[in-house]
């Protein structure tokens, strides 16, 4: 996939969409048919390079048969027109929530990770197949719409407002987001002239404590830029939805947080994912520790600094608790454990073990190389271990591997002297 253009006409009161998604893609083999992922909704027509194509549906597979077969290397475009009420889906990877398009608490929002994107647009719904995106969302003029990326146009005619959003940096399908409701856009300007535009979306009737909680964002971005390099996209911010779910999600450039999930550590966590998870994406969900372990380690560092706590001591205490709540290895997990405590906390402790072993300078060089070398693309655990080997040698690789794979929680290495 190269580019998605998603045009949504939304009736929020009826929770109904009338939509057209156009994709440009490049064939990686000769083919007479291909599949897109789409769950529910009614498909009206499909075109390939502007010519009507036959299509059929089975489960969440939309099979398209172009009038002319495609050849290896050929760039082509697909247009899909569809409508209906998007229905959230269940996914064994996230037993604690439904996924996809939600209409709840007077707002519409999307929570895709990992598989929910197919509830509202047809895609190759795989984390490794990143593409650029454009969103064009039409809603009643009394309602606010937002999406991933930069707001590039806003036009109102006959009581309906269309906003256009561009995400020119590659994005995985699960990070594409749309939000509709009674939100106020709160602008905070830029961190520095070349830095990202900081803006949040909060419920218009929000209590002032929401704005106070979000004020930590600029500090978190600054902290992360010191460690990882410049923020990867043109904008960042948080949308707080008036719904009581107990998590947050790093949708690209505009993370979604439940109403009460606004502590500094979680704000820093979702910001960290913009570098690690979003810019550097996964080739495979089995490597989710590369997202969650890294974001957790960075949020724990930020939180200790923010509250003036002793980071080393915090990590020692966390290490002592791991056997009781995050004992299992963060690699080789079952689908139900994708977002479990082992991935987050034993994953973070894996990095702490490496940090203790190598000392600050080498550890931050490894972290920087891990980000730099895959920024805008994808990576995997083998690549990370290759960087560890290159900077710190095979003994460090053994330590990281024991943290990733051993059935019991390893001891922490003695801190490197100096």
Interaction site with ligand ARG (CB under 6 A): 94, 97, 99, 111, 113, 247-250, 269-270, 273, 339
Q: How many CA atoms lie within 13 A of 211 on its CB side?
A: 12
Is residue 292 involved in binding Zn ion (CB under 5 A)? yes
Are 35 and 62 contacting, i.e. CB atoms less than 8 angstroms apart? Answer: yes
DSSP 297: H
Q: Is the CB of 7 or the CB of 99 nearer to ligand ARG?
A: 99
CA atoms of 99 and 87, how far apart (whole Å): 9
Q: What's the closest the beta carbon of residue 272 comes to Zn ion, in angstroms? A: 8
Q: What's the closest the beta carbon of residue 11 comes to ligand ARG, in angstroms? A: 25
Partner interacting with residue 249 (select from ligand ARG, Zn ion, none; CB below 5-8 Å by kind): ligand ARG
Is residue 303 involved in binding Zn ion (CB under 5 A)? no
Give the three-state DSSP class for 223.
helix
Q: Is the CB of 10 or the CB of 295 nearer to Zn ion?
A: 295
Q: Which of 65, 169, 173 is nearest to 124 (CA)?
A: 173
Q: What's the closest the beta carbon of residue 117 comes to Zn ion, in angstroms? A: 17
Q: What's the closest the beta carbon of residue 379 comes to ligand ARG, in angstroms? A: 17
Q: Is the CB of 171 or the CB of 295 nearer to Zn ion?
A: 295
CA atoms of 87 and 92, how far apart (whole Å): 17
Could you tell me which residues come within 8 angstroms of residue 271 by beta carbon, excluding any fewer than 6 positions away?
A: 217, 220, 221, 224, 236, 255
Q: Is the CB of 108 or the CB of 249 nearer to ligand ARG?
A: 249
Are 288 and 344 contacting, i.e. CB atoms less than 8 angstroms apart? Answer: no
Q: What's the closest the beta carbon of residue 269 comes to ligand ARG, in angstroms? A: 6
> What is the maximum alpha-carbon separation in the chain?
70
Are 80 and 36 contacting, i.e. CB atoms less than 8 angstroms apart? Answer: yes
Give the three-state DSSP class for 81.
strand
Beta bridge partners of residue 15, listed in sequence order: none
Q: Is the CB of 235 or the CB of 249 nearer to Zn ion?
A: 249
Is residue 295 involved in binding Zn ion (CB under 5 A)? yes
The site map against Zn ion for 192-211 (x = CB under 5 A) is --------------------
- Nearest to ligand ARG by Cβ — which residue? 113
Q: Is the CB of 66 or the CB of 340 nearer to Zn ion?
A: 340
Q: What's the closest the beta carbon of residue 372 comes to ligand ARG, in angstroms? A: 22
Is residue 180 involved in binding Zn ion (CB under 5 A)? no
Q: What's the closest the beta carbon of residue 96 comes to ligand ARG, in angstroms? A: 7
- Nearest to Zn ion by Cβ — which residue? 295
Q: Is the CB of 20 or the CB of 273 nearer to ligand ARG?
A: 273
Are 389 and 339 contacting, i.e. CB atoms less than 8 angstroms apart? Answer: no
Q: What's the closest the beta carbon of residue 107 comes to ligand ARG, in angstroms? A: 16
Are 180 and 12 contacting, i.e. CB atoms less than 8 angstroms apart? Answer: yes
Question: DSSP per residue over 169-188, as a string?
Answer: EEE-GGG--EEEESEEEEEE
Q: Is the CB of 12 or the CB of 114 nearer to Zn ion?
A: 114
H/E stretch holding 207 reads none
Residues binding Zn ion (CB under 5 A): 292, 295
């Amino acid at each position: 996939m190269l580019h998605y253009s998603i045009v949504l006409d939304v009736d929020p009161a009826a929770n109904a969409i009338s939509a057209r998604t156009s994709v440009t893609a490049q064939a990686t083999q000769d083919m007479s048919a291909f599949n897109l992922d789409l769950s529910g909704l009614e498909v009206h027509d499909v075109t390939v390079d502007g010519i009507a194509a036959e299509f059929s549906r089975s489960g969440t597979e939309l099979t398209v048969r172009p009038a002319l077969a495609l050849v290896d290397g050929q760039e082509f475009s697909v247009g899909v027109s569809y409508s209906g009420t998007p229905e959230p889906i269940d996914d064994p990877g996230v037993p604690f929530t439904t996924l996809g398009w939600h209409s709840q608490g007077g707002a519409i929002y999307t929570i895709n990770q990992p598989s929910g994107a197919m509830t509202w647009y047809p895609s190759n719904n795989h984390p490794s197949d990143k593409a650029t995106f454009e969103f064009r969302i039409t809603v009643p003029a009394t309602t606010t719409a937002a999406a991933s990326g930069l707001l590039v146009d806003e036009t109102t005619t006959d009581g309906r407002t269309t906003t256009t959003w561009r995400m020119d940096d590659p994005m995985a399908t699960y990070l594409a987001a749309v939000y509709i409701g009674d939100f106020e856009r709160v602008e905070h300007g830029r961190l520095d002239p070349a830095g990202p535009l900081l803006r949040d979306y909060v419920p218009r009737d929000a209590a002032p404590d929401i704005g106070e909680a979000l004020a930590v964002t600029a500090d978190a971005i600054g902290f992360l830029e010191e460690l990882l390099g410049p923020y990867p996209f043109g904008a960042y911010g948080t949308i707080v939805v008036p719904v009581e779910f107990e998590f947050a999600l790093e949708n690209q450039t505009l993370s979604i947080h439940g109403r009460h999930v606004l502590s500094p550590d979680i704000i820093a966590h979702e910001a960290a994912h913009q570098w690690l998870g979003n810019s550097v994406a996964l080739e495979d969900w089995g490597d989710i520790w590369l997202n969650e372990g890294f974001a957790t380690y960075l949020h724990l560092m930020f939180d200790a600094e923010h509250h003036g706590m002793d980071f080393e001591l915090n990590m020692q205490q966390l290490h002592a608790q791991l056997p009781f709540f995050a004992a299992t290895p963060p690699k080789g997990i079952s689908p139900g454990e994708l977002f479990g405590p082992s991935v987050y906390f034993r994953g973070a402790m894996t990095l702490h073990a490496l940090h203790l072993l190598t000392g600050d300078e080498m550890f931050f060089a490894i972290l920087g190389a891990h980000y730099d070398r895959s920024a805008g693309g994808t990576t995997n655990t083998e690549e990370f271990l290759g960087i560890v080997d290159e900077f710190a040698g095979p003994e460090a690789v053994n330590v990281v591997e024991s943290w990733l794979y051993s059935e019991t929680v390893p001891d922490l290495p003695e801190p490197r002297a100096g």
